[in-house]
Chain A
Amino acid sequence: MATSTLSQKRPLFDPEILGRAVRDSFVKLNPAQLLKNPVIFVVEAGAALSSVLLIRDAAMGTADVWFNLQITLWLWFTVLFANFAEAMAEARGKAQADTLRKTKSDSLAHRVTAKGAVEDVAASQLRAGDVVICEAGDTIPGDGEVIDGIATVDESVITGESAPVIRESGGDRSAVTGGTRVLSDQIRIRITSNPGETFLDRMIALVEGAERQKTPNEIALNILIAGLTLIFLLAVVTLQPFAQYSVNAAGTGTAPSVAVLVSLLVCLIPTTIGGLLSAIGIAGMDRVMQHNVLAMSGKAVEAAGDINTLLLDKTGTITIGNRQAVEFLPLAGVTDVELAEAAQLSSLADETPEGRSVVVLAKEKYGLRGRELAQHEATFVPFSAYTRMSGVDWNGGRLRKGATASIEQFVKEEGGSAPDQLRELAEGISRQGGTPLAVANGKRALGVIHLKDVVKGGMKERLAELRRMGISTVMITGDNPLTAAAIAAEAGVDNFLAQASPADKLNYIKREQAEGRLVAMTGDGTNDAPALAQADVGLAMNTGTMAAKEAGNMVDLDSNPTKLIEVVAIGKQLLITRGALTTFSIANDVAKYFAILPAMFMAIYPAMGQLNVMGLHNPKSAVLSAVIFNALIIIVLVPLALRGVKYRPDGAEALLRRNLLVYGLGGLIVPFPGIWLLDRLVYAMGLV
């Protein structure tokens, strides 16, 4: 696959991106901006409070300025690190958007006036409904529909695919995208979008994250962590009078200072997930883009993770596009070789993949070399929709192959009669999911060729994987139910929709949704549009019509329907990453308690030193190392947030067990050695 603007691989910490992110981390210190992230806002408020107190103390020379300075600095670092995570995620998109913008030069358009004359106007002057003419070498000035002509177009700007595609009026290949380039011929285009609203514009906006809105799950998670923040605020604020009571009761010690209380608060509130939450969401969108899929909203990506049912088109998704001959079934009294030879001869002029596969099979199985039949000795009969047969008249023989009914008709017309066995053989093939092609030589029916759909390599495994993930797959096909059932069984899909019309698809989706399932599908034709719009995740092919692209909530620029499976995996990975980091963040608190609480209370009740299970040097080093750990863990986890946690397609139980073990238990344990190590460091460096 070629690399488009979207899917180009940049290293995670590309210097350009890194620079931009560092700059943005400071810009984001603006409290008005931070307000939408309550957790980090609280950290900033705490940092500001301890800064003010620090200045006061420094002026009065009262408290331990050096210690408070370090705490204050690390609190600010915590805010900056959280900002940095978000900025990193955004910066990647912004960089991509810049690249895309460069391709958007304001070209001249040849507009056809009402009177039929052609005038040159700037592309930015075009409005929906205008008609323009584009010739070889022109950049198409806006999104539109070919209304006349046929041309090859280079769409690499959008798709990254350098091979030109054909665009022609009428049908499903009429849509053109602004910014792409005509390579040959001339087409007349009706513009369908106003400037600023083109596909390219939307793409830039999406990539840049300008219109990013919080997804439902993100909102819910925000409520959770904001609520936890409030609870910890209560716990810490009330700690002051509790400690004061204890000081009075013990008759010794002092209540903890504001700097220490703020430190405890910042360590307890879920800063890790609070700092990384939006980065995870942005990075999820970004990952979808790296697969060359343009998601119209984060909600769509999230919904992909929830999908219960996948509607997959048979042709092109489950099977390779063409059927292949796999067997010759001669009638009684006809030899294999005779049938194979007749089939091969009748297919020589058949340039379709099916025809070629007949020639190849005859050669491989019976060693029959494809013969060069010169025009003068043979008359080729091409396939026609009327006769539904093709063949050759050669050497006195009239060889034909075609649909069973057509061949029966042909044999009858030639004066013979097809035996019942022909029909039986044909039906047998249909039952196995194949397509029968009958072969006859004049009035003599010879047998049947078995054409078979070939399931794509690896598809069976992928479908099994989906089943393990709890997603049921439905194969959509125009085939009859018999054929569909056989292919469905071979590929291992859970269900199929045979002889499916677009309306059938739509109804199937509605039915699934009524039972509470979320449905994803791919589509490209205009008649797919209602179903794409109805589906929870509608992945439109970029080669498809504008109507389809607008109805779906994702566009695959590679136009590869199998991509849907990857999109589902990305959606799941996004949710898992959120859950994992939330769990990790909360589990971390336990160790922080064991670091800070004994440090706080040892002055009052020296016996509390027994809670210092990590054996930290002194109260100051304990608090400082907990705060440092809390800040650093955000930075450490940025790559994980941006890449997403490793997703293995598996059942929910197995996933939960593994992730709970890694992020739950891990989150419980990791901070203990982490804080212990930092304590050794700050102590050794003489910081406390």
Chain B
Amino acid sequence: MTSNGVLQVVVFFLLIVLAARPFGVYMARVFSGEFAFLRAMERFFYRVVGVDANQEQHWTQYAGSLLSFSFVSFLFTYLLQRLQGVLPLNPAGFGTEVMTPELAFNTAVSFVTNTNWQAYGGESTMSYLVQMAALTVQNFASAAAGLAVAIALTRGFARQQASSIGNFWVDLTRGVLYVLLPLSVVGALFFCSQGVIQNLSAYTQVTTVEGRTQVIAQGPVASQEAIKMLGTNGGGFFNANSSHPFENPTPLTNLVQMLMIFVIPAGLTYTFGRMTGDQRQGWAIFSAMAVLFLAGVFVVYGMEQAGNPELARLGVVGGNMEGKEVRFGIAATALFATITTAASCGAVNGMHDSLTPLGGLVPLFNMQTGEVIFGGVGAGLYGVLLFAVLAVFIAGLMVGRTPEYLGKKIEGKEVKMAMLAMIATAAAILLFTAAGSVVGTGTLNNAGPHGFAEILYAYTSAAANNGSAFAGIGVNTPWYNVTLGIAMLVGRFFIIIPMLAVAGSLAAKKKLPVTTGTLPTHGPLFVTLLVGTIVIVGALTFFPALSLSPIAEHFLLLEGRLF
């Protein structure tokens, strides 16, 4: 590791620390309705949608609205893809032959669940209309839905003896209008100023200096790029995602992209503290995330900088650059890889498949622990609160009281819902990977343990709604399109619905007064506990699988074994 590399990590982290508070305050005020500068627009939305903004919902209604919205979004996205051949804004003339039903299903699920897993190569499959009216829309919608769930869960902690947790349509509208859209416009303009393209032109054919023909893909990239990051979506316009120079042309845009991934999730920890009335609680969660994040970054960075010993034997010096861009270098790529999997973003500025074994272990592990290190927009907060509930329940008993978190007793129902979410995602990852390791090995790009890692990574990424990949694996097959689609659905809704149930259950409870007998959940002790729970529970579930993939690969590489 170089001092300059470490400096980049530190500067990035400090910027996130600084951003958490203003963004957190802003979101808390937006979702409690304190801001009104877009009230007219909001009213227009409610009138058209046909909802009474003052009518709050019971958690079951809230969940019902969210499911309906996701379902309609899915249908809409599916149909637009299937019909792209007959719809306008399709200069490259992509038709239905590249857009099979399984691929359209997979992609629709992928964008509706905020996964943005891409079984397709954007520039070789999708029309501009689909990119904008289907995919970009879902980048906003799925992120705003996640944001809404996090806010609803926060209300569950903040309220007492309440029967409702907010109104989904209102939260969704506010998330889009006040948070995602304005920031995206600013982000898109900045990106374009740096070289990210934004046009509706046909692909440009050029004759290169040496006389070869090169077709340069074009498109409305900047607008999608901004929301891709801000909504922790990660679905790139191009196949190569943020490693593509048209998506991420300079180290500066790279920094801004990374900041855009983390800024809302980090801010939400502050929002959480503010809405529940104890800012220290928000910072405690932030700290736990920060510890895990920094640990992950330095593992990846260290391993990548150390490089591949086999390549070193061939005289290659300067770390592992396979799959990385020169302009970013090792530090900024390691940082990006950690961020994108810590959050449920899944955008990549380098190819994870080519990371060193332990460098690749961190992204896998980040996703398997549920992307709770700042995490996805909304998803990170409700994911980490799931762990907090478990941590408080297990260790909270050790202070001799029925465990409570933020004054709310953690009882059977909460534990049941948290476990349901944990089991569902573990099942989606492990069972599908098991099946994939039997029937899905035909399209692997690598042999040996790394091939297994490609399968494991795919289902992990799908179930965690991340979207990044060990991308060598060919996943545009009926088997992978369908099973990965199911894994994404499980990973999204088997967490959201239980967490909304928890929100409803908590909102109905009394808030117990804090005494010296109450488990303190704001100090270093709790942070340690939370980190320990996340790491140990994650490790226990996935250690067998990991030991046959990156861990085995690491030891084999040290012995010089190739596949």
Contact present between A and B (CB < 8 A): yes
- Chain A contacts to B: CB under 8 angstroms: 216-217, 219-221, 223-224, 226-228, 230-232, 234-246, 249-250, 264, 268, 302, 305-306, 308, 467-472, 515-517, 571-573, 575-576, 578-580, 582-583, 586-587, 589-590, 593, 597, 601, 605, 607-608, 610-611, 647, 651-653, 655-657, 659-660, 663-664
Apart from A245-B438, A579-B395, A652-B518: 6 A-B pairs, beta carbons within 8 A: A235-B545, A239-B544, A605-B555, A608-B547, A611-B555, A655-B399
Question: From residue A375, how far is it (CB to closest CB) to chain B in Å?
Answer: 61
Question: From residue B534, how far is it (CB to closest CB) to chain A in Å?
Answer: 13
User: Which of chain A's residues have a CB closer than 8 A to the CB of B39?
Assistant: none
User: Which of chain A's residues have a CB closer than 8 A to the CB of B552?
Assistant: 246, 601, 605, 607-608
User: Which of chain A's residues have a CB closer than 8 A to the CB of B427?
Assistant: 234
Cα–Cα distance between A470 and B516 once the two chains are bound (Å): 4
- Interface residue ranges of B537-563 to A (CB < 8 Å): 537, 539-545, 547-548, 551-552, 555-556, 558-559, 561, 563
Asked if B422 is an interface residue, CB under 8 A from chain A, the answer is: yes
Cα–Cα distance between A659 and B396 once the two chains are bound (Å): 10
Residues A216 and B412 in contact, CB atoms below 8 Å apart: yes
Residues A246 and B399 in contact, CB atoms below 8 Å apart: no
Residues A572 and B426 in contact, CB atoms below 8 Å apart: no
Select from chain A the residue with minimum beta-carbon distance to B401.
Answer: A306
Asked if B511 is an interface residue, CB under 8 A from chain A, the answer is: yes
Interface magnitude class on chain B = 35 or more
Asked if B411 is an interface residue, CB under 8 A from chain A, the answer is: yes
Cα–Cα distance between A332 and B7 once the two chains are bound (Å): 85
Asked if B47 is an interface residue, CB under 8 A from chain A, the answer is: no
Cα–Cα distance between A205 and B540 once the two chains are bound (Å): 42
Give the residue of A235, A264, A576, A587 whose beta carbon is less than 8 angstroms from that of B400: A576
Cα–Cα distance between A224 and B389 once the two chains are bound (Å): 11
Cα–Cα distance between A235 and B160 once the two chains are bound (Å): 38
Residues B423 and A231 in contact, CB atoms below 8 Å apart: yes
Residues B401 and A220 in contact, CB atoms below 8 Å apart: no
Residues A236 and B563 in contact, CB atoms below 8 Å apart: no
- Binary CB contact string for chain B from 397 to 426 against chain A (1 if under 8 A, 0 otherwise): 111111000010011101110011011001
Residues A652 and B540 in contact, CB atoms below 8 Å apart: no
Cα–Cα distance between A108 and B451 once the two chains are bound (Å): 85
Question: From residue B235, how far is it (CB to closest CB) to chain A in Å?
Answer: 28
Cα–Cα distance between A246 and B447 once the two chains are bound (Å): 10
Cα–Cα distance between A578 and B401 once the two chains are bound (Å): 11
Give the residue of A216, A219, A589, A653 whose beta carbon is less than 8 angstroms from that of B523: A653
From B427, B512, B540, residue with most partner A Cβ within 10 Å: B540
Say which one of B29-37, B130-138, B269-277, B429-437 lies at the interface with A: B429-437
Select from chain A the residue with minimum beta-carbon distance to B428.
Answer: A234
From B510, B515, B541, B544, residue with most partner A Cβ within 10 Å: B544
Number of A-B contacts (CB under 8 A): 230
Question: From residue A323, how far is it (CB to closest CB) to chain B in Å?
Answer: 33
Give the residue of B160, B395, B415 whose beta carbon is less than 8 angstroms from that of A220: B415
Cα–Cα distance between A593 and B537 once the two chains are bound (Å): 13
From B399, B411, B414, residue with most partner A Cβ within 10 Å: B399
Residues B398 and A223 in contact, CB atoms below 8 Å apart: no
Cα–Cα distance between A243 and B545 once the two chains are bound (Å): 9
Residues A607 and B401 in contact, CB atoms below 8 Å apart: no
User: Which of chain B's residues have a CB closer than 8 A to the CB of A219?
Assistant: 412
Select from chain A the residue with minimum beta-carbon distance to B402.
Answer: A306
Residues A470 and B510 in contact, CB atoms below 8 Å apart: no
6 A-B pairs, CB-CB below 8 angstroms? A224-B390, A235-B542, A239-B544, A243-B548, A470-B517, A652-B400
Question: From residue A260, how far is it (CB to closest CB) to chain B in Å?
Answer: 12
Residues B515 and A471 in contact, CB atoms below 8 Å apart: yes
Cα–Cα distance between A302 and B411 once the two chains are bound (Å): 13
- Known contacts being A471-B515, A607-B558, is A657 close to B449, with CB within 8 Å? no
Asked if B189 is an interface residue, CB under 8 A from chain A, the answer is: no
Residues B518 and A227 in contact, CB atoms below 8 Å apart: no
Residues A652 and B561 in contact, CB atoms below 8 Å apart: no
Residues B411 and A220 in contact, CB atoms below 8 Å apart: yes
User: Which of chain A's residues have a CB closer than 8 A to the CB of B430?
Assistant: 234-235, 238
- Interface residue ranges of B323-354 to A (CB < 8 Å): none
Residues B517 and A607 in contact, CB atoms below 8 Å apart: no
Residues B452 and A242 in contact, CB atoms below 8 Å apart: yes
- Interface residue ranges of B446-502 to A (CB < 8 Å): 447-449, 451-452
Asked if B83 is an interface residue, CB under 8 A from chain A, the answer is: no
Asked if B150 is an interface residue, CB under 8 A from chain A, the answer is: no
Cα–Cα distance between A647 and B412 once the two chains are bound (Å): 25
Residues A249 and B563 in contact, CB atoms below 8 Å apart: yes
User: Which of chain B's residues have a CB closer than 8 A to the CB of A572?
Assistant: 400-401
User: Which of chain A's residues have a CB closer than 8 A to the CB of B555?
Assistant: 605, 607-608, 610-611
Residues B438 and A308 in contact, CB atoms below 8 Å apart: no
- Known contacts being A223-B415, A234-B430, is A656 close to B516, with CB within 8 Å? no
Residues B556 and A607 in contact, CB atoms below 8 Å apart: yes
Residues A579 and B394 in contact, CB atoms below 8 Å apart: yes
Give the residue of A220, A235, A659 whose beta carbon is less than 8 angstroms from that of B541: A235
Give the residue of B411, B539, B563 whose beta carbon is less than 8 angstroms from that of A216: B411
Asked if B536 is an interface residue, CB under 8 A from chain A, the answer is: yes
Cα–Cα distance between A148 and B394 once the two chains are bound (Å): 56
Question: From residue A647, how far is it (CB to closest CB) to chain B in Å?
Answer: 7
Asked if B525 is an interface residue, CB under 8 A from chain A, the answer is: yes
- Known contacts being A246-B548, A470-B516, A515-B513, is A659 close to B543, with CB within 8 Å? no
Question: From residue A521, how far is it (CB to closest CB) to chain B in Å?
Answer: 18
Cα–Cα distance between A305 and B401 once the two chains are bound (Å): 5
Give the residue of A227, A234, A244, A652 whose beta carbon is less than 8 angstroms from that of B517: A652
User: Which of chain A's residues have a CB closer than 8 A to the CB of B435?
Assistant: 241
User: Which of chain A's residues have a CB closer than 8 A to the CB of B513?
Assistant: 308, 515-517
Asked if B532 is an interface residue, CB under 8 A from chain A, the answer is: yes
User: Which of chain B's residues have a CB closer than 8 A to the CB of A230?
Assistant: 423
Cα–Cα distance between A653 and B544 once the two chains are bound (Å): 35
User: Which of chain A's residues have a CB closer than 8 A to the CB of B544?
Assistant: 235-236, 238-239, 242, 264, 593, 597
Question: From residue B452, how far is it (CB to closest CB) to chain A in Å?
Answer: 5
Asked if B93 is an interface residue, CB under 8 A from chain A, the answer is: no
Asked if B122 is an interface residue, CB under 8 A from chain A, the answer is: no
Cα–Cα distance between A73 and B274 once the two chains are bound (Å): 56
Residues B437 and A652 in contact, CB atoms below 8 Å apart: no
User: Which of chain A's residues have a CB closer than 8 A to the CB of B543?
Assistant: 235, 593, 597
User: Which of chain A's residues have a CB closer than 8 A to the CB of B415?
Assistant: 220-221, 223-224, 227
Cα–Cα distance between A228 and B422 once the two chains are bound (Å): 9
From A221, A238, A610, residue with most partner B Cβ within 10 Å: A238
Cα–Cα distance between A477 and B543 once the two chains are bound (Å): 61
Residues B400 and A571 in contact, CB atoms below 8 Å apart: yes
Residues B515 and A472 in contact, CB atoms below 8 Å apart: yes
Asked if B529 is an interface residue, CB under 8 A from chain A, the answer is: yes
User: Which 8 interchain pairs have the tightest Cβ spacing?
Assistant: A470-B517, A579-B397, A572-B400, A227-B419, A470-B515, A607-B555, A579-B398, A516-B510
User: Which of chain A's residues have a CB closer than 8 A to the CB of B393?
Assistant: 220, 224
Select from chain A the residue with minimum beta-carbon distance to B552.
Answer: A605
Question: From residue A657, how far is it (CB to closest CB) to chain B in Å?
Answer: 6
Residues B517 and A471 in contact, CB atoms below 8 Å apart: yes
Residues A587 and B517 in contact, CB atoms below 8 Å apart: no
User: Which of chain B's residues have a CB closer than 8 A to the CB of A235?
Assistant: 426, 430, 540-545
- Interface residue ranges of B151-203 to A (CB < 8 Å): 160
Asked if B441 is an interface residue, CB under 8 A from chain A, the answer is: yes
Cα–Cα distance between A411 and B549 once the two chains are bound (Å): 101
User: Which of chain B's residues have a CB closer than 8 A to the CB of A250?
Assistant: 448
- Known contacts being A245-B441, A573-B400, A586-B536, is A657 close to B448, with CB within 8 Å? no
Question: From residue B455, how far is it (CB to closest CB) to chain A in Å?
Answer: 8
Cα–Cα distance between A264 and B544 once the two chains are bound (Å): 10
User: Which of chain B's residues have a CB closer than 8 A to the CB of A579?
Assistant: 394-399
Give the residue of A242, A516, A660 whose beta carbon is less than 8 angstroms from that of B437: A242
Select from chain A the residue with minimum beta-carbon distance to B519.
Answer: A652
User: Which of chain B's residues have a CB closer than 8 A to the CB of A302?
Assistant: 402
Residues A234 and B401 in contact, CB atoms below 8 Å apart: no
Asked if B520 is an interface residue, CB under 8 A from chain A, the answer is: yes
Cα–Cα distance between A492 and B39 once the two chains are bound (Å): 56
Residues A246 and B397 in contact, CB atoms below 8 Å apart: no
